[in-house]
Amino acid sequence: MQLHPTSLASGTLGDDAFRFVEWLAEAGQSWWQMLPLGPPDRARSPYKSASAFAAWRGLLANPSAEVSDEEVADFRARESFWIEDWARVAGGRRAIADQVRFAREWDKLRAYAAERGVGLIGDVPIYVAPGGADHLAWPQLFRGGEVSGAPPDAYSDLGQLWGNPLYDWPALQRRRYRWWTERLRRTFGLFDVTRIDHFRGFVAYWAVPDGATDARGGRWRRGPGRAVFDAALAELGSLPVIAEDLGVITEPVTRLRRSLGFPGMVVMQFGFDPDDPRGPHRLEHHEPDSVVYTGTHDHDTLRGWWESLPREVRAAASSQITAAGLHEREPWWSLIRLTFSSPARLAMVQAQDVLGLGSEARMNIPGRATGSWRWQMAPGALTSDLAKRLRSATQEAGRI
C-alpha cells in the first residue's frame, strides 16, 4: 500500500506508524511504499528536498530525545560522505543529532515491519533541489545555464518547468558516479526496494534555458544510460529498483530498463482511454516485469477519478469490470480488484482508495504551487473490516 508517513494521523514515525504496519499485515499486504523522506520545500513537496541524503526532522515522534556524543561520532563516521555538508547548512551538531534520532526510530519501525512480513519501498527523485545541500556541496556535478523540465504534451502546451539543476554527466563520469552510488547506498540502507522517479532522464532529459518562463524552449540532451547503475552495482552488489517510466517512453528507455532488470510502472487510471487501444496501461497489455498502481501520489483518488470521468471512459471501465466478474457496490473497490487481477508482479493501492475517499484526499496536483501534500488520515480510519475486505480481495487474486 502507498502512504507517506506525513499522511498518518500523527504525521510521524510514532505509534500510529506501528499500528499501520499491523494493519497492513492483517490486510495481507507485503509492502509499504512511501514518498521521499527528506526535508520538504515550502510547498511541502518531498520531491524538492533540501537534501538527497538527510531525513526530515518533522517525521520524528520524539524530536527531543537525548543523543550522546558517542552516537553523533558514530553517525558522522558511518555517513561521512554527506553528513558534514548537511550539518553546515542545517545547524551543526543539532542537525546530526536529528539524523541519529531518525535512525533510531526508523530502524525500530523497519525491524517491526520485517517481523510482520512487510517490506518498505522508498522513492528517489532523479533531481536535487536548487540551492539545497547537494547543490551547494557539489557544484562541480551540476550544469549551468539550463534547468530541468518536461516538453509540451497532451496535458500542457507549455510543458513543465521544474527548475532543478541538471547534472553535468561528464563530470560525474570522471568521478565514477560516486555521488549517485552513495545516494543509492543511503537509500538501500533505509529501504528494501526503491522507486527511481523520472527514469527516462537517464536516457534523455529535457533541458530548459535558465530564466525561461515555460518549458517550450527546451531541448533533449543525452543522459548517461546504464553507466550510473553499473557503477552502483559494482559497489552495492544488487539494485532493487522500480523504474518510474510513465509518460511518453521511447524504445531506448524500455531497453535500458529491461537490460537492468528493473520492473516498470503501469497505472490503472490510464488504462481505459478509447483513443489509446495499444497503450501499455491497458490491462490486456500489462507485463509481469512491472508494478501496477491504482494511481500514484500525482493522480486523483480512485473515487475522485471515477466521479469525474467522461461517459465513454466510464463505460469502458465498467465494461471491463463486468467482463472480469469483479463488480462491487463501490466502483473503487471494483477497480482495486481489477488492479489485483493484473499479471504485474506487484500491485500497489493507495490508502485513500481503500478508504473510498474523494478528490479532497488527493495528495498532489502537478503544476499547482500550493495546497498539495497535506492529506492526513483520520485516527482509526483503517478498520479491521477494511483489512478483512482488502485481504479477501488480495487472496482471491492469488497475491498473498
Give the whole-number percent of the chain exceeding pLDDT 90: 94
User: Which one has a higher pLDDT value, 371 or 294?
Assistant: 294
CA 6 to chain centre: 14
And the C-alpha cell for 323?
Answer: 467482463
| Residues recognised as catalytic | 197, 244, 298
Contacts of 298 (CB under 8 A, 6+ apart): 363, 364, 365, 366
* Listed residue (354, 390, 357) closest to 375, CA to CA: 357
Q: What CA–CA distance (Å, rounded) separates 264 from 245?
A: 6
Q: Is the pLDDT of residue 384 over 70?
A: yes
Task: Kindly report, residue by residue over 94-138, the tens digit of the pLDDT.
Answer: 999 999 999 999 999 999 999 999 999 999 999 999 999 999 999
Three-class SS state of 106: helix
Please state the separation of Cα 142 from the chain's center in Å: 23
| DSSP structure class, residue 193 | E
Rounded to two decimals, what is the model's pTM? Answer: 0.96
CA distance 236 to 216: 39
User: For 193-224, b where at least 16 C-beta lie within 10 A, e where not — what string?
Assistant: bbbbbbbbbbbbbbbbeeebeebeebeeeebb
Work out the pLDDT band at 157, boundaries 50, 70, 90: confident
pLDDT of 399 above 80: yes
CA distance 96 to 68: 11
Three cell numbers, residue 238:
544488487
DSSP reduced 3-state for 111: helix
Beta carbons within 8 Å of 400's beta carbon, 6+ residues apart: 28, 391, 394
Read off the pLDDT of each residue in 130-155 and give the average, rounded to a whole number: 93
Q: In the prediction, which pLDDT does 3 show?
A: 98
Mean pLDDT of 348-359: 98
Is residue 156 predicted with pLDDT exceeding 90?
no
β 160-167/219-222 pair status: unpaired
Instruction: Determine contact, residues 233/241, Cβ cutoff 8 Å.
Output: no
Which residues are CB-contacts of 178 (< 8 A; sequence separation ≥ 6)? 231
Report pLDDT digits (tens) over 37-82. Answer: 999 999 999 999 999 999 999 999 999 999 999 999 999 999 999 9
Residue 201 CA to residue 224 CA, distance in Å, equals: 9
Q: List pLDDT tens digits, range 16-36.
A: 999 999 999 999 999 999 999
Residue 112 · residue 127 · CB < 8 Å:
no
Helix axes 69-78, 83-90, angle to 10 degrees: 120
Give the phi and the psi of residue 138 in degrees, each rounded to 5.
-125, 60
State the average pLDDT for the chain: 96
232-286 residue pLDDT tens: 999 999 999 999 999 889 999 999 999 999 999 999 999 999 888 999 999 999 9
The DSSP output letter for 214 is S
Amino acid 168: pLDDT: 98
Residue 373 has pLDDT above 70, yes or no: yes
Given a cut of 90, is residue 370 above it in pLDDT? no
Whether the pLDDT of residue 155 is over 90: the answer is no
The Cβ of residue 385 has, within 10 Å, a number of other Cβ atoms equal to: 8
DSSP H stretches of helix in 157-237 = 169-174, 178-190, 227-236
